Amino acid sequence: MGDIKSENQLSKAARERLSALRADYDPKDEERPDEARDSYADVEGGIRLQKALAAAGVASRRASEEMIAAGRVSVDGEVVRRFGARVDPEKSEIRVDGMRVVTSPDKLYFALNKPRGVVSTMWDPEGRPTLADYTGQTEERIFHVGRLDTETEGLILLTNDGELSNRLTHPRYKVIKTYIAKVPGPVPHSVVKRLRAGVELEDGPVEVDSFRVVDNDGAKALVEIRLHEGRKHIVRRLMEAVGHPVADLARTQVGPIDLNTLKLGTMRALTSREVSELYKAAGL
């Protein structure tokens, strides 16, 4: 009982540190054979690689160990096979099967299905509904990746990862965004051919990555437009230029992330795999 009492007398920070050290210790790490070692230099004061992978949601610690043993994990460009290798989750570049794994605990990634009438900002001087009305309180300040105009609904990503955000929005990295638009129908094949060939707008030419008619029945048609650039009102101006102005518009996908079953006006955290796929799409 004396040991328990003395431990309870420690400060909260000391107790948390003691708990972390206990959780981090695995006696089996001391039993690994010498041939299991590699040339990776441990980060002093870092955490075990399998713990970083598990905390990032990649897999359980045991499954992470299996991936490490199989040579599927690299840290800062070096394949690591030691279960006890120490990494810095804030700074180490960790990859599994070549895909980046974000292990920094303060990095946040969300998908929001934005309703019509919501401004793509976190604050509006006119008092209109903003993204902040749907994100709630997060551990860190987040910002939107690109924008959707007020009357467009659909997928918008939010994060505090500036490097990834820049890559996803810059046309140089060709991350494709997918839109579904309701337009006057029917849409003739000549319009499809014109859009695929490229359309000249007042601020320069636009080439769609793909265009298809989803539904062409009657006076209304549904079309899918895929673009890697994000000039202001680009989809609306594009369809206006070919004589089929947009009545309703929704963005359904950004790179590998799509809306799936995300309900209008709701937000969810991206999975570790989805974040890795975004990094891959952005060339990181």
- Asked if 42 is an active-site residue, the reply is no
E strand intervals along the chain? 47-48, 73-75, 78-79, 86-87, 94-96, 99-101, 109-114, 143-145, 153-159, 177-184, 199-201, 204-206, 210-215, 220-227, 248-254, 257-258, 267-269
Give the C-alpha separation, 73 to 78, whole Å.
8
Say which of 76, 149, 209, 258 is annotated catalytic.
149
For the chain, the straight-line distance linking the first and the last C-alpha, in angstroms and rounded, comes to: 53
- Say if strands 153-159 and 248-254 run parallel, antiparallel, or are unpaired: parallel
- Dihedral angle sign, alpha carbons of residues 281, 223, 267, 165: positive
Q: Is residue 183 a contact partner of residue 172, using CB atoms and an 8 Å limit?
A: no
Rg of the chain (C-alpha set): 24
Burial class (CB in 10 A: 0-12, 13-18, 19+), 123: exposed
Which H or E run includes 11?
none
Q: How far is CA 251 from the centre of its chain?
A: 16
Kindly list the catalytic residues: 149
